[in-house]
Structure 1
Amino acid sequence: MQLHDFPVPDTAAARAAATLADAYQSPALTAHAVRSWYWAEGFAAVDGITAVDHELLYVAALLHDIGTVPEFDNIRSSYEHAGGHVAIALTTGAGWSGARRQRVLDVIVRHNWPSVDVSLDVEGHLLERATGLDISGVDADGLPVDYLREVVRAFPRGSIAAEFGAGVVDQADRKPDTAARRIVDAGVVEKLRHNPLERLG
């Protein structure tokens, strides 16, 4: 398994998502988003999951944390809902159907669920597992170590531990009824620091 096994979708929505991520997210946050997409695709390959909407998964991965940046932070809604609505706006411009736009929102929201059953939502399941790996180190042995190392070297972790840790704590403090509070209470800041991926760079 290698990076070139998973070509980035060459579509208007995918290109727009990458442009938006680069314009508004820090380099560390966008690298986290890209790594999450590669982890998601890797898990699909390892598990033999073939019914994947790769374009939708890519857009959701690139924008799943964009609700944490000041320009898109919502005063009341969770950052995953805020990011999901950014993705709806973007994919509306790309001509996606209403049902598919709802799907990208669902996938982004569900990435913060404790788990997502693959029978309920393939892309949501993959993104939840992928972000769990990149943030908390969950299931780090579920992908080949050479692949983990290749992705981390291509898209370095940089300051993601400090940056995302501070961001999710801020979200939890301001929005205590959202998933951010649960994630912080579950020890995400320590998990970020001790993520085994930090040793692969």
Structure 2
Amino acid sequence: MQIGRQAWMAQTSGDLSLKDRMALLSHSLLPVLKQSVKMYALAHCPKATVQGSLTLDDLCLPDSAEVKQALEKMQSCSSDALQNHCLRTWYYAIGFARMQGLKRDDELLAVSCLLHDLGMTEPHYQHHANCRCFAGQGAYAAKDWSIERGWTIPRADQLFDVISMHMNPHVSLDEGTEAHLLQQAASCDVIGSRGFEFAPQFRQQLFQHYPRLDFNQQMIEFTQQEAIHRPKSRTAMVVQSGFKQLVNLNPYLD
């Protein structure tokens, strides 16, 4: 069973076994190391940017009822800083997709980005009784929300997997295009992973429209508490790996 997917979550409640930890490390160590080297080495190298002409006006949320309802759901329970993070995550995700020419389900991607941190909000931190993982809690909440709005079970299950897998240190394209894009985009916004692929002007425009506010501190405090309360979760593993330092050292915040 693939770590983070619904079947794994149902069996483990989100607790990593030693075997799971080793599997995540072996799967992610090399790609994460490569991204980290580039992240810091190219932080102040304008020639490294790929999408110098990309602007927010080029990237519009899909105009569908599902996306509008997801936006309303996200806004109804999230802090301003968390709302802005979710929106920045979508812009990064669709930006990566455009740059790489990836075929994707834009509606599924948008809803996943908007709802991917429901597990950080008070109404949904304990959404599911048998889950000890905030990403899993958010995935269960998003799945229930989608089914209430008439999504088919297979599509709702896909939404679950995309959201739950975003806490894996690395998600390859082979594991699903939308899951890959969400993980990369969330990581880009939180710690700067692959931030060099966006021009400084694009990032500045993004931060002007969706300022970070106290997002860094909220994220650090939340993950540290999550690691204490859910010590076998993927979040705890990330915290133990120096997550606080990575957030504070994000080189793409100006």
Q: TM-score, normalised by structure 2?
A: 0.75
Q: Does 1:68 align with 2:120?
A: yes
Q: Which runs of 5+ in 1 are unaligned?
A: none
- What is the rounded CA distance, in whole Å, between the counterparts of 2:69 and 2:145 in structure 1? 7
C-alpha deviation, 1:177, in angstroms: 1.1
Deviation larger for 12-21 or 27-36: 12-21
Which residues of 2 match residues 34-183 of structure 1 at below 5 A?
34-49=87-102, 51-74=103-126, 76-183=131-238
Which of the numbers 72, 78, 81 marks the counterpart of 1:28?
Answer: 81
C-alpha deviation, 1:120, in angstroms: 2.1
C-alpha distance 77-12 of structure 1, shift in aligned 2 (>3 A): farther
**Structure number, greater radius of gyration:** 2
- Give CA deviations for 1:123-175 in whole Å, capped at 9, x if unaligned: 00001111111111111102222222211111011101000110111111101
C-alpha RMSD of matched pairs (Å): 1.3
Deviation larger for 161-170 or 11-20: 11-20
C-alpha deviation, 1:12, in angstroms: 2.0
1:2 matched residue in structure 2:
55
Q: TM-score, normalised by structure 1?
A: 0.94
If asked which structure has higher relative contact order (CA below 8 Å, sep 6+), I would say 2
C-alpha deviation, 1:34, in angstroms: 0.5
- Report the residue type matching 1:23 in the other structure: S
- What is the rounded CA distance, in whole Å, between the counterparts of 1:87 and 1:13 in structure 2? 12
- Report the residue type matching 2:106 in the other structure: H
Tell me, yes or no, if the aligned pair for 1:25 and 1:69 is still in contact at 8 Å.
Answer: yes
1:184 matched residue in structure 2:
239
- What is the rounded CA distance, in whole Å, between the counterparts of 1:105 and 1:88 in structure 2? 6
Tell me, yes or no, if the aligned pair for 1:16 and 1:90 is still in contact at 8 Å.
Answer: no
Q: Which runs of 5+ in 2 are unaligned?
A: 1-53
- Give CA deviations for 1:96-145 in whole Å, capped at 9, x if unaligned: 11111011110001111111111220000001111111111111102222
- Give CA deviations for 1:54-91 in whole Å, capped at 9, x if unaligned: 11111111111110112111264211111111111221
Tell me, yes or no, if the aligned pair for 1:29 and 1:160 is still in contact at 8 Å.
Answer: yes
SS across alignment from 1:119: helix
Tell me, yes or no, if the aligned pair for 1:65 and 1:80 is still in contact at 8 Å.
Answer: yes
Tell me, yes or no, if the aligned pair for 1:73 and 1:82 is still in contact at 8 Å.
Answer: yes
- Report the residue type matching 1:66 in the other structure: L
Tell me, yes or no, if the aligned pair for 2:118 and 2:142 is still in contact at 8 Å.
Answer: no
